[in-house]
Amino acid sequence: MIQLFYVNVPSLHKNIRKQESKCNETRAFKPRFSDWHIFRSKANQEATRMATAEKWVMTKMFNGTPCLSNFKREEEVLRQLDQDEFRCRALVWSVDPYIRLFSTPSANQKAVMSFQLAEVIESKNSSFPVSSRVVGHFGWCTECITNGLDEYCEAYIAPEVCSLPLSATLGILGMPGITAYLGLMECCQVKEGNVVAITAAAGAVGHIACQIAKIMGCTVIAFTGTDEKVSWLKTELGLKHVWNYKKSEINDVLGKLDSKRVDCYFDNVGGAQSNTIMDYMEAGSRVCVCGSISEYNKGGSVEHFDYVKAKARKIRVRSISVFCLQHKWSSAIHCLSQWVKQGKLKYHEHAYKGFDNIPRAFIEQISGEHYGKFVIYADP
């Protein structure tokens, strides 16, 4: 006969329950292989959520020449990335005259618009992997989150800069260079032997346009605003016909041309200069309207480009907006790169350093204080 003995050992039962509880806890919190992406994703989201960026915003509309009080520096907390977005950190900022024309204060305090060369530091977009350098219309900010589809311009991987500084991706191999190239090739349709007049010839676009017209076998008539710029255009870029429009009457300059005519006019300034140059243009001649910088800072009544005169003289006038021609950017950059490699194109920039100096660089650029392309390098 088998007897069953039931032993009541409370301490033994208690220890067993503790061990089972620990095992259950271990099983409950031990992540499976398929769960790792969730943990990594949450870590990345938390890192992005905590990231902050500095930005410059507009506080009020421009009234005449821009001043420092038009801008305010702010900090923002960056949200987590959505699918197809990436986060990038600014390396170089660009300032250009068009910012004066299109920028307005925004209710959501957006950064002032501009191009930027940046490095991707986090990405959910396979076209823009981490560590890639990208050119985009990201604005005056130290970091941003974007899908690269800005309303003005789609972001793209920065091109090779040959022997030039990185900032060339914002200058001769960026929007200014592309504007000069397409303005002459598409709008003016320059041909060898043409007489080409170019205003603001020492500017970011102008000094490249002068060289392209020269490469194409044209006679370049360049106008700029200081004797220093005249000297630079002649000495560094090898231009023969350069005048300070503040000291020389445009009528006197153009009246002494052998041809007594201008075939193409690359207009960067608008106003009185443009209307005088049109007097020397004949039927079938071409005007590329790139900018009207002489009118940007003036209030009240100013002299505008005379379209009635252009129509009466049967001059073909076309404006250039490279934002509408982005499908042609890659071919333009390729051609510009080849000319740089061949030593046919020179590039000059006026560089600043530090995020704090962006507004000052913009104001000095719009005031015509220096020549070439204006860029601002981020602090290391």
> Are 57 and 153 members of one domain?
yes
Picking from 234, 186, 237, the residue whose alpha carbon sits closest to that of residue 208 is 237
Segment 116-142, tens digit of pLDDT = 999 999 999 999 999 999 999 999 999
Cβ proximity of 65 and 366 under 8 Å: yes
- Say if 336 falls within a structural domain: yes
**Helix axes 206-215 and 175-182, enclosed angle (nearest 10):** 40
What is the pLDDT at residue 368? 86
What is the pLDDT at residue 14? 46
> Are 309 and 216 members of one domain?
yes
What is the pLDDT at residue 116? 98
Picking from 79, 112, 72, 69, the residue whose alpha carbon sits closest to that of residue 93 is 112
What is the pLDDT at residue 102? 85
- Say if 7 falls within a structural domain: no
Q: What is the pTM of this model?
A: 0.84
- Residue 262: how many CA atoms within 13 Å on its side-chain side? 32
Picking from 341, 347, 342, 350, the residue whose alpha carbon sits closest to that of residue 368 is 350
Q: Would the pLDDT of 38 be above 80? A: no
Top pLDDT among 212 and 100 is at: 212
- Say if 81 falls within a structural domain: yes
Segment 282-341, tens digit of pLDDT = 999 999 999 887 777 665 556 788 889 999 999 999 999 999 999 999 999 999 999 999
> Are 133 and 267 members of one domain?
no
Q: Would the pLDDT of 150 be above 50? A: yes
Q: Which residues pair with 156 in a beta bridge?
A: 135
**Helix axes 175-182 and 329-341, enclosed angle (nearest 10):** 100
- Domain hosting residue 323, numbered range: 175-341
> Are 308 and 368 members of one domain?
no
Residues ≥6 apart with Cβ < 8 Å to 260 = 254, 280
What is the pLDDT at residue 199? 97
> Are 320 and 212 members of one domain?
yes
What is the pLDDT at residue 20? 47
What is the pLDDT at residue 299? 58
What is the pLDDT at residue 151? 80
CATH number, domain containing residue 221: 3.40.50.720
What is the pLDDT at residue 27? 41
> Are 205 and 307 members of one domain?
yes
Count of structural domains, the chain? 2
- Say if 9 falls within a structural domain: no
Amino acid symbol at 269: V
Q: Would the pLDDT of 11 be above 70? A: no
> Are 154 and 229 members of one domain?
no
Segment 224-235, tens digit of pLDDT = 999 999 999 999
Cβ proximity of 342 and 363 under 8 Å: no
- Say if 34 falls within a structural domain: no
Q: Would the pLDDT of 63 be above 80? A: yes
Cβ proximity of 116 and 102 under 8 Å: no
- Band the pLDDT of 192: cuts 50, 70, 90: very high
Question: Which residue is it, tokens 């360049």?
Answer: 222
> Are 154 and 108 members of one domain?
yes
What is the pLDDT at residue 7? 38
Q: Would the pLDDT of 349 be above 50? A: yes
Top pLDDT among 5 and 366 is at: 366
Average pLDDT of the chain to the nearest whole number: 87
Tell me the C-alpha distance between 361 and 57, whole Å: 15
> Are 285 and 322 members of one domain?
yes
> Are 297 and 151 members of one domain?
no
Residues ≥6 apart with Cβ < 8 Å to 378 = 89, 90, 91, 92, 93, 142, 354, 355
What is the pLDDT at residue 300? 53
> Are 124 and 142 members of one domain?
yes
Picking from 176, 265, 186, 185, the residue whose alpha carbon sits closest to that of residue 220 is 265
Q: Would the pLDDT of 187 be above 50? A: yes
Tell me what percent of the residues of the chain surpass a pLDDT of 70.
Answer: 86
Mean pLDDT of 130-155: 95
> Are 136 and 282 members of one domain?
no
Mean pLDDT of 263-282: 94
